[in-house]
Amino acid sequence: ASTYPDQTVSTHWALPDHIQIGLRWENDSFSIAIEGGLSLWSIQETAEFVLPESDPLVVQYNWRNSGSVKVGGSWNPSKSFTIRAGTYIDGIPAPGPTETLSPASPDATRVGGTLGAGIQITDAVVVNSAYEGMILLGRESASPDAPMARYQGNAHFFGVSVALKIP
């Protein structure tokens, strides 16, 4: 197989629109929310890579739209302390069909959970911390243009923030 010479490349990449709708219920110390969403991945059927010294390269994706469901809640055991938790499934079905599945495509349905806490130190300072664990459900590639492999994974995210409330 021939290789492309070193050269610049350009392409147009369309990011999908995301439509989300949710409901929230709360009382003095507890709240719960549910959200549903639709990601319009089908906007990216192909990508054309323009190469000034070679013929353009067109990659076929045939991505499909996918949905998501998220549920979360918070509890305030005191006026200055909040505990948060949530779960989600995103990519129902996974956006990329197995025929075009590759390391570069939206490759999996994601299932995750979150935990967090916040403490109000003073009237003006709040410290928050959060954790998210995510699993990318495995899928087998049937693409003739990508490694015949099973794509799956997991990720862990941690965060801390300090908020300053200015009156």
- Give percent above pLDDT 90 in the chain: 57
Q: What is the rounded distance in angstroms from the CA atom of residue 36 to the CA atom of residue 99?
A: 27
Residue 130 has pLDDT above 80, yes or no: yes
Phi and psi at residue 64, to the nearest 5°? -120, 160
Rounded mean pLDDT, 30-43: 96
* Of 76, 77, 98, 86, the residue nearest 35 (C-alpha): 86
pLDDT at 3 (0 to 100): 76
Instruction: Write the CB contacts of 122 (distance below 8 Å, at least 6 apart in sequence).
Output: none
Top-confidence residue, 154 or 148: 154
Terminal C-alpha separation, the chain: 65
pLDDT at 125 (0 to 100): 97
pLDDT at 25 (0 to 100): 98
At residue 18 the predicted structure's pLDDT band, cuts being 50, 70 and 90, is very high
pLDDT at 147 (0 to 100): 78
pLDDT at 106 (0 to 100): 61
- Residue 93: is the preceding peptide bond cis (ω within 30°)? yes
Residue 22 has pLDDT above 60, yes or no: yes
Rounded mean pLDDT, 43-57: 87
Radius of gyration of the chain (CA): 21
Top-confidence residue, 54 or 32: 32
Token duo for residue 162: 């300090």
pLDDT at 102 (0 to 100): 77
Residue 21 has pLDDT above 80, yes or no: yes
The pTM (predicted TM-score) of the whole model is 0.82
Are residues 83 and 35 in contact, defined by beta-carbon separation less than 8 angstroms? no
Are residues 44 and 66 in contact, defined by beta-carbon separation less than 8 angstroms? no
Are residues 91 and 66 in contact, defined by beta-carbon separation less than 8 angstroms? yes
